[in-house]
Amino acid sequence: MLVAPNGDIFVTEGHSGGTVGNDRVSKFSKDGKFIMSWGKKGTGPGEFNSPHTIAMDSQGRLFVGDRSNNRIQIFDQNGKFIAEWKQFARPSGITITADDTIYVADSESFGPDQPGWKKGIRIGSAKTGKVNFFIEDMESTVTEHSGAEGVGVDAAGNVYGAVVRRQVLEKHIKK
């Protein structure tokens, strides 16, 4: 869920690879009145398979973590498709800071569905899409558990990963 600066509320409706949820994004007014929804199950632009997270950049664009499609889809606030990014792998959590640094928690990569990838937190630019840094999960190449699903950053630049299956909050100290 995301609350925009004007109070509009955006909710991603999907989890567990599309077996639970509506595979869409819904928009509500600040007083909770339904405005619109967009998306359906699929792999095309504006279609989803487990939209798991949502964040907004300084331009007001919406970044939707389409986890089971291994991509981020970018939209305007009326659901118009803008772009698709696959370089952040399999997004479970997204945070974008005021300077448009994007932090993407990839809890599910590695294994048969994404060979060659590792679980962890990718850090880059929400303006260009370039991935600049990678914080590798402590068990990035095992299939027994997921990595961080939620991600946050504090004012000092420390990065936090919420690891559901291990039930821990990891703190990665900025050096």
Q: What is the pLDDT of residues 143-159, one digit of tens each?
A: 777 788 999 999 999 99
| 149 vs 102 pLDDT, higher one | 102
| 163 vs 64 pLDDT, higher one | 64
The reported pLDDT for the residue numbered 141 is 74
The reported pLDDT for the residue numbered 91 is 94
With a cut of 70, say whether residue 25 has pLDDT above it. yes
Concatenating the DSSP letter of every residue in 90-108 gives: SEEEEEE-TT-EEEEEE-S
* Interval 166-171 mean pLDDT: 85
Ramachandran quadrant class, 32 (left: phi over 0; alpha: psi -120 to 50; beta: rest) = left
- Binning the chain into helix, strand and coil, the percentages to the nearest 5 are 0, 50, 50
The reported pLDDT for the residue numbered 139 is 78
Are 90 and 70 in contact by the 8 Å Cβ rule? The answer is: yes
> Domains of the chain: which residue ranges?
1-86, 96-175
Give the sign of the dihedral formed by CA 132, CA 135, CA 141, CA 145.
negative
Q: How long is the chain? A: 175
Q: Which of 40-44, 94-98, 136-140 has the lowest mean pLDDT?
A: 136-140
* Interval 99-126 mean pLDDT: 89
**Token digits of residue 160:** 């936090």
φ/ψ (deg, to 5) at 68: -75, -10
φ/ψ (deg, to 5) at 69: -95, 5
Condensed to tens digits (0 to 9), the pLDDT of residues 44-86 reads 999 999 999 999 999 999 999 999 899 999 999 999 999 999 9
**Token pair 């420390």 is at which residue?**
158
**Token pair 């889809």 is at which residue?**
73
- CATH number of the domain located at residue range(s) 1-86 in this protein: 2.40.10
With a cut of 70, say whether residue 20 has pLDDT above it. no
φ/ψ (deg, to 5) at 27: -120, 135
3-state secondary structure of 64: strand
The overall average pLDDT reported for the chain is 91
Percent share of the chain, pLDDT over 70: 95
